Structures are given as C-alpha cells and as structure tokens.
Structure 1
C-alpha cells in the first residue's frame, strides 16, 4: 500500500518546520505551502520506496529550474543567478511552474532518490574517524553506506578549521587541499576538545548505495547539485570542488542494499585492515530496517575489528546501541543529529555519543566523555 496524501502533507510540513526553518527561507516557504496544496503534494505520490519527502520535491523542482533558468521563478533561485527573496509571487510562480511540468516532475520523482552529498559533514565525521583509526592502531579501511557519489570518502584529503569558543582554532588534515572546510566547535559543560590529527591513513575505500552517482555523467552531477538547497551557494560550491577532486582518485562504488549487501561490500576491502563503517543521515531512510542494519554490523564485527561512525538522528541510529539517552533526541527546529562512535568487543557494542551536530556540517557541540 502506497503512502497517502495526508502522510505526504505531514512530511512536507515537518520538513518545513524542522529542517528548512532557519536554514533555507526559500524551502521553508515552498514546503509549508506545498503541505496545504493537494496538487503539488500529490506529485510525491510517484516516489519510489516510500521516499516521498520534502527534499525530493525540492530537488525535482530545482532540477527543472536548472533546465529552464530564464523562467521568472529562477529569480528566487540563487543557484541559477537569482537574488530575490521570498515574496507574494514566489509560491504562485512555483506552483504554476511545477504543474505546467507535472509530467517531467513525476518522471524525476518516480525515477530518482534524494542523493545527499553534504561535503561539510566531513568536518563532523573527521574527529570520529580519527579516533577510530587511533584505537585501531593507525591504518583503517573505510566503507560508506548510503554514499551517493562517495564524496565523504575523500575526508582524509580535505583540510579543516574548527573555530572554538573564545577564538581558538583547531586545524586538521593536509595543509594544501582542494577542499577546505570550516566548522564551529562548542564544548558542552565538562567536555574537552577532541584531538584532530594532520593525517589519516586510510588504505582502502568503498561506497555502498542503492543508486550510486556517476560523477562523469553530467546529468548525474546535475541531479546531485539539484539535491543541494538552491539558496545555499556555499554548499553547491563545495560539492563541485569535492566532485572535481574525487574524479582524480575515484573510490570503488558498489550498487546494493544497505542491509542485504553490507557484508559483501565489506568483503571487497582488505580483511587484514580494521574497518570503519560510515553513515551520515542515511538510517532515517531505512525506517523499520534500522535494527537489521545494526545486527549486520555486529556480524561483521565478529570477523574483523570494526568501528561504526554515525552522524544520524539519535532515534535512527545510536539509540539501538546506546538506549535511554533522551537528552540526545531532537529538540525543536534545526534537526540536530548526533555523532556516534561504536566498536564491538566480544560481540558487545560499546557506544559513545561524541557530539551534537547541525544538519549541514556548520556546527557541532562536543560532549563530555
């Protein structure tokens, strides 16, 4: 049984209120209006595998604006040169634009998944991967599940600057890098700033995704850009820089299911190297299979040293191995996630919540050990 229109509208409303609010005035406005419009919300009924989410509707619209950048709607889309803020014409133009292209919108929605490659999240993940590598003895292999184009697999090649309270800066990664990331770093009461090394030694990399993005395909790259929010130009710029850098050294990309194909994907990486499995805003989409994913990680850990670095909603990931931490759940708008590090010892998951994280990598609050 497919998702109902009421469920779609509820999801659009939640996207506007919990994700776009305070981050994207354009998407907050469009999603909140779409949540009250049967015709526009109904376009998402074509989505595959229950992927009827506000991000997919916004991405499909963004892709169509990319293809018709002289349409009046484009003046609200900074990604194609627009510079107008939301006004009384924004929604009517958006609505008529999409309905005039309803067949094209449905074709995108029915054939595409939301492919999120938020490059700035690498700044959140780097300290956790570095900690895993330290505990593993220095060298690790990296498997990203839900990798999209695999851009986060380049995290060892990026440079980082963490701006701490009081003006102190922590730097990490190579001094000369094609991609440089900045992240605000707060300390919760009792927390000590993480140690971030200049170098990570990742000996092998692979990405697993149900529909990996081929960056050599211009249409695939355009869709990846369309999944970035249209009024957040820095995110698009970083995406392009990371994509260009990755084309010089492409990781192995595996098409498969996050649960069913996890073990076989891990088997493509050297068995004698400790493994770090990476997930970032992926488990939300697994819904009732999240427990199965964690169970598969446990099976992997029985055969080789394994660490799981997750940057996910607490209820979608860390709660399965670190229950009872209601303080880590979402609070209000801004859709906070939690950076987690899990290792298995004698079949038992040892889980730590390292930091609270902002959704697009712009800030994190380090937690006490």
Structure 2
C-alpha cells in the first residue's frame, strides 16, 4: 500500500493557509522520505483508517512527534533547523527529518497512537462568548463538562482575559490576554462558573513536565504566539489543576446525562475541534444522550451543548443547543480553527 500523499498534501495546504509555512515544509519532507524501512513509515503506510485532516490527521500526529523530538532534545540535528532558526532549504530539512525518523523510530512510532491534543488556547475566547450567551439565556451559573479536553487548559477560560471587539470578558488582570480580530457585536455578560471537569481518552497532566512538553509539541513551531499562549495557560493550569477523567467520551456523557441534574445551574457540554476525532458510533451515542436528557431539562436545570467544530465543508463554526429554550442548532459564530478571526452572528442560522 503506498503512502497517502493526498492526506499530507491537503494538510500542508491547510497549514500554509493558517500561516505555518514551516509545518507545511515538514509535511512535504515527510512525503519525500517516509517508506517501509522504518516502523514509523510502515505504520503510516498501513494506516487502517482515514489519514486525512478531517479524520485521523496522521500528518499532524507525525509533525507533532518530530516537534517533540526537538523540544525534548532527542534530535539536535533537527533542532538546529527548527524555529526560531531561519527557514532551512527543503533538501536540508528532508535530510534531517529522515535521520530523525531513523534515530528516533520507536519514540515517533509510539507517538502516532495519540490524536493531536493541541488544546488551542485561542479557542477559549469563542467558548467564553458562547458561555456568555448561555448565561444570558438562562440567568443561571454554569457547570462545565468538556469532552476531548486534552490537558484541560480551556476549562480555566474564565481565568484568561478576553477582548472581544469592544467587549471584555474573563479576568482583566490575567497575564494571558486573548484578542481575536472580532467582527460583529459580542456578548457582554460574564458567566459564573461553579463547577468544571473534563474527559479525554488520554488526558494530559500538565503538572508533569514530559506531558506538558507533549502538549506543546502539537503546536506548529513557527507560531511563537501560540506557543507563548499555551505556556501561559499551562502556568494557569498548574495553579488551578483541572479535574480530568480518562474515559470514552460517549460513556462519560451518558453518565452525565443519566445523573439527576442539580437545580439552579446550567449543565454545559462543550468541546472544540475534537468531534472529528471521535468514531461515528461515539458521536451518535453522545447526540442521542444529549437529546434524550434535553427532553427533561427545565428552566431551573437547563442543558446546553456548545461546540466549536468543523462543518461538512471544513469550516469552523461555534454552535449552540440549549434545552428547554431552543433545542435547534444555532450558529453563533464563524472563525478559523485557531480563532485569529471571528465573525459573530449570535442569531439563528441554517447549517
């Protein structure tokens, strides 16, 4: 079976569009060098599922693995070419990647079992805006439940500072300041968060240095602002460790929905760029559990589903369902996956 070149080329195109020329060059180098002579090459060539950017994202698993070899000091040859060093010649990068795959074959191959867990902190601003809408609609404090939580960095989103156009939410004194380019109005009600927790198949304990490095490795190395934001969010999480559970998302959500809700608060299921990594059966079970629980939601114990995910056309949208107020899906905003640019709707749109 040949290498799925289309998966790498499509992901490289997306990387260029999202401002990471270096990661695109890494993916081009991998296409040129991966073969069956290494365990890593064989694993990628024989990948059993869809390797592309809308499903298993194998190219980003690999680029994350290489970045981890740089951050952990296991590949000095490759580190000499990574940012903040100048952009290397493609042939030089290809040679260094080929050598690193051979020298760190076991470590890279093992890294591939995990889907990328970027915990993109910039998405917290969009989620915070969504929580403001929920708080305004329900007039209740919120209990947050995040699936695909990774290291749980965004469970601390109210401890960040968010400048959303002319509106400001979160902690104005926070060292972590998020300022996406915002088009349209913005919600202004600060949500009160009284409980928070998350689940992931492989939650990352950012209080452990090696796991914090793994989380950083999924960030594209030529985007220093993203690395800086994540390091700042890790600092917050080390002071306010999120409660994370290693669990299948469907099992976790079904347990959440089966438990009697507390009155006087809104349960909020939230996730961001995680849905695509979940099998169809998991997606179906979560949807069924939420819709069934929504039938018994009341104005004193509402249920919300806030998601920032890619639609069928690959466009990222913030959507909300809120039982019993409006169970239909509302599109609150469009944004790029890294939330540099937001178009806020805050009204019901067809999707």
Please say whether Structure 1 and Structure 2 have the same fold, judged by a TM-score greater than 0.5. Answer: yes
2:31 & 2:75 partners in 1: Cα distance? 27
User: Is the aligned partner of 1:281 residue 2:273?
Assistant: yes
Aligned residues, how many? 331
Q: What is the TM-score when the length of structure 1 is the normalising length?
A: 0.82
User: Is the 1:43–1:105 Cα contact (8 Å) retained in structure 2?
Assistant: no
1:159 & 1:177 partners in 2: Cα distance? 6
What's the counterpart of residue 87 of structure 1?
A: 89
Structure 1 unaligned residues grouped into runs of 5+: 164-168, 188-192, 316-328, 331-335
Q: CA deviation at 1:200?
A: 1.9
Structure 2 unaligned residues grouped into runs of 5+: 51-55
Give deviations 1:95-119, integer Å, cap 9, x for gaps.
Answer: 2222222222112224x33212111
What's the counterpart of residue 302 of structure 1?
A: 295
**Compared CA separation, residues 104 and 203, structure 1 to 2 (3 A):** same
Q: CA deviation at 1:49?
A: 7.9
User: Is the aligned partner of 1:223 residue 2:214?
Assistant: yes
What's the counterpart of residue 30 of structure 1?
A: 26
**Compared CA separation, residues 161 and 54, structure 1 to 2 (3 A):** same
User: Is the 1:183–1:362 Cα contact (8 Å) retained in structure 2?
Assistant: yes
1:300 & 1:49 partners in 2: Cα distance? 32
User: Is the aligned partner of 1:57 residue 2:62?
Assistant: yes
Give deviations 1:18-63, integer Å, cap 9, x for gaps.
Answer: 2443421111112133235442654435879874511110111111
**Compared CA separation, residues 17 and 341, structure 1 to 2 (3 A):** same
- CA RMSD of superposed structures (Å): 2.5
**Compared CA separation, residues 269 and 221, structure 1 to 2 (3 A):** farther
Structure 1 counterpart SS, 2:327: strand
Give deviations 1:243-286, integer Å, cap 9, x for gaps.
Answer: 11122222321111111221224678962221111110011111
User: Is the aligned partner of 1:121 residue 2:123?
Assistant: yes
What's the counterpart of residue 337 of structure 2?
A: 359
Q: CA deviation at 1:69?
A: 6.8
Bigger mean CA deviation after superposition, 53-62 or 19-28:
19-28
**Compared CA separation, residues 47 and 278, structure 1 to 2 (3 A):** farther
1:1-369 correspondence runs (5 A): 5-6=2-3, 8-39=4-35, 42-44=42-44, 51=56, 53-68=58-73, 71-78=76-83, 82-88=84-90, 89-110=92-113, 112-163=114-165, 169-187=166-184, 193-197=185-189, 199-265=190-256, 271-272=262-263, 273-289=265-281, 290-304=283-297, 305-315=302-312, 329-330=313-314, 336-345=315-324, 349-367=327-345, 369=347
Q: CA deviation at 1:84?
A: 1.1
Q: CA deviation at 1:225?
A: 0.9
1:91 & 1:22 partners in 2: Cα distance? 22
Q: CA deviation at 1:185?
A: 0.8
**Compared CA separation, residues 255 and 46, structure 1 to 2 (3 A):** farther
Q: CA deviation at 1:238?
A: 1.2
1:49 & 1:207 partners in 2: Cα distance? 26
Q: CA deviation at 1:231?
A: 1.2
